Structure 1
Amino acid sequence: MSETRGVFAPETTAEAREYFENVGPAAQTVTKELAREMAFSKEEYDERVTSDVVETARDALFASLLEVEVGDYTEFAAARTDHPDAEVVQHGSQDVDNAVWHYVPFADALVAATFQSEPDAAVGTLRRIAFGEYYRDAIE
């Protein structure tokens, strides 16, 4: 039986933008706390923690919260029937036992990554792919 990981699956681009905006303050806090833990001086913080750094943290935080399904390849094949008209974008080999997938409703795309034995790595990979291929453009 597949397992759901993550906390949100935006239905629309507007909802994706809202979630993205909502993780902004958390990304800023995480970045600030990491700099503090690394003992950055005020000058080093001002020099190194740029808006691009905070934006990267925001992108990563958003992607890491996307809802994905983790299951065997047969379950992924069955999930494809839930979205019969969706573009299926699969990364990896069909000759492995497992898959992770995420449906992007506003693009009508089912994005997947296959794996044999490292589900956490596959989940991270899939989230980065989904963010880069679908969400980045939607939230800008």
Structure 2
Amino acid sequence: MTETRGVLAPATEAAVRERFEGVGPAAQTVTREVARAMELSKEEYDERVTSDVVGATREAMFASLLQVEVGDYEEFETAKADHPDAEVHENGSSDVDRAAWHYVPFSDALVATTFQNEPDAAVATLRRIAFSEFYEPVL
């Protein structure tokens, strides 16, 4: 049975930008709290926690929230049939039993990573791929 993970599935490029902006304050908070947990001094914080660091946090948070379906390979085949015009970007082998996939509506693309074991690793890999190939270019 297919398992859904994550909450973000923006349908348009405008929605992608809006959701990405919405993650900004949380990314700042997470970055600040991590720096606090690392016991960085004020000087170290000012020197090391740059806008690039907060930006990387925002990107990682956004990607980690993308909605992903996880199921067996046959369920992925059904997802492909549900999106007959979608461009399929499959990473891995069709000779394994399971897949994780994410539909990108504004690009009509279905991105997938196949796996035998380790669904958490497959989902993380898929999210990085989907973010870098489809979401990052519109931001």
TM-score (norm 1): 0.98
CA distance in 1, matches of 2:129, 2:95: 20
Task: Write the distance in 2 (CA, Å) between the matches of 1:3 and 1:18.
Answer: 26
Alpha-carbon separation, structure 1, partners of 2:121 and 2:114:
10
Shift of 1:138: 1.3
State how far apart, in whole Å, the 2-side matches of 1:115 and 1:51 are. Answer: 35
Matched residue SS, 2:114 = strand
Which digits, 9 at most, give the CA deviation of each residue in 1:9-56, with x for residues without a partner?
A: 000000011110000000000000000000000110011101000000
Q: Which residue of 1 aligns with 2:87?
A: 87
Q: Which amino acid aligns with 2:31?
A: T
Query: Which blocks of at least 5 consecutive residues in structure 1 are unaligned?
Result: none
- The residue number in structure 2 matching 1:10 is 10
1:65 alignment counterpart:
65
Cα drift, residue 8 of structure 1: 1.4
Per the normalisation by structure 2, the TM-score is 0.99
Q: Which amino acid aligns with 2:33?
A: E
The answer as to 2:134 corresponding to 1:130 is no
**Alignment partners' CA distance in 2, 1:56 and 1:92:** 26
Q: Structure 2: any 5+ residue segments left out of the alignment?
A: none
Q: Which amino acid aligns with 2:82?
A: D
> Which residue pairs with 1:31 in the alignment?
31
CA distance in 1, matches of 2:126, 2:101: 7
d(CA) in 1 for partners of 2:108, 2:78: 17
Secondary structure in structure 1 of the residue aligned to 2:79? helix
Q: Letter of the aligned partner of 1:75 in structure 2?
A: E
- After TM superposition, the runs of 4+ consecutive aligned structure 1 residues lying more than 2 A away are none
SS at match of 1:117: coil
Count of aligned positions = 139
Output the aligned Cα RMSD: 0.5
